[in-house]
Structures are given as structure tokens and as C-alpha cells.
Amino acid sequence: MPQRPYEIDEMISAKSIAARIESLSREISTEFSGTDKLIVVGLLRGSFVFIADLVRELDLPIEVDFIEASSYGDGMESSREVRILKDLRAAIEGRDVLVVEDIVDTGHTLKHVMGMLRARKPSKLKSIALLNKAERREVDFKSSWIGFEIPDEFVVGYGIDFAQRNRNLPYIGKVRFT
């Protein structure tokens, strides 16, 4: 449970998120148009709402799988040590793969996961992040697609949590401590 009281100010509306996902899904469907099946890999837990909305918009045959990676725990700062808590169920060698992340800030988690998956020799490997905090980047990594660029603010909602709270908000909100 958070130690200090806080309020949440809406930053990106549910309507804006839905419109951006529709646009991104068209680009992704074009990129993977020749695939026999796209494996969409969600990074748990924060991406679950985003991945659900994204796959419903994709005009492709898909399979969904998940990886759970952790570098935050219940804190607000990345530990920079990426641990894989749950791995994929199926092999991806020779397959087309799209990794779905909620937010990229330092870049450590997504760079680590992409490197791990690249070593498994997929045919094509791309990534999408709903949110990007470029000013927080500590490693050289850029997602194939970005939903929204955001400033260095702590955010919640649309699957993203603060100490396991606020994932159920339909929008992205900025945490403001009171």
C-alpha cells in the first residue's frame, strides 16, 4: 500500500487511447500482413489492458502469450535488474513476434526481453509500447511503435499500477502526492 496519500490527474483520456490503438493496429497489420500467425507477447502485468485492446483491432491471425518481467516491485524507481518471472509457453523460432509493453522509461526491461527473444531466432521481432519516457532512457533502445510520448511523471491507469492499485482506470493519469 502506498505510504503517502496521492491524487490522480488525467493525462491521456480513454478516447485518445482508443483512437491511437486503432491507428497503431493498422500500421502493425500492414507490417505483418504476410504472416501466417503473429505471436503477440505481452509483458505482464502492466500491458494486459493494452494488449487486450490492441489484439482486438489487429486484422491478422494471432496467438497471444505472456512474459512476466520485473524491475520495479512495489516502488516508483526501476531497480535496473531485470528478472524473468514467467517465460513464453511456445517456441518462437521462425515466427513473427510482436512484444507489447505498457511503458518504456529506462529501457532496461524491454531491451533485456528483446535480446532474450532475439536469441530464440524469430523470423521478425518488433515491439510496441503504449507510453515512452524518452528523457528517462538509460540504455540504447527504441520501440518499433510508440503510443504516446510522455514527460517524466509517475503514471497509473489502463493496466499500469502504483503498488498494485489503479490498474482499472480507463485512462492514463499522473500521480500527484498530496
Domain ranges (residues) in the chain: 14-27+34-153
| Cα 169–Cα 49–Cα 175 angle in degrees, nearest 5 | 35
Q: Is residue 54 a contact partner of residue 40, using CB atoms and an 8 Å limit?
A: yes
DSSP element (H, E) containing 33: none
CATH topology of domain 14-27+34-153: Rossmann fold (3.40.50)
pLDDT at residue 92 in the model: 97
Catalytically active residues are: 105
Q: What is the pLDDT of residue 104?
A: 94
- How high is the pLDDT of residue 4? 81
Give average pLDDT by consecutive 10-residue segment, the chain, 178 residues. Answer: 81 98 98 96 94 97 94 55 88 97 93 96 98 94 96 96 92 95
What gap in Å lies between CA 82 and CA 71, rounded to an integer?
5
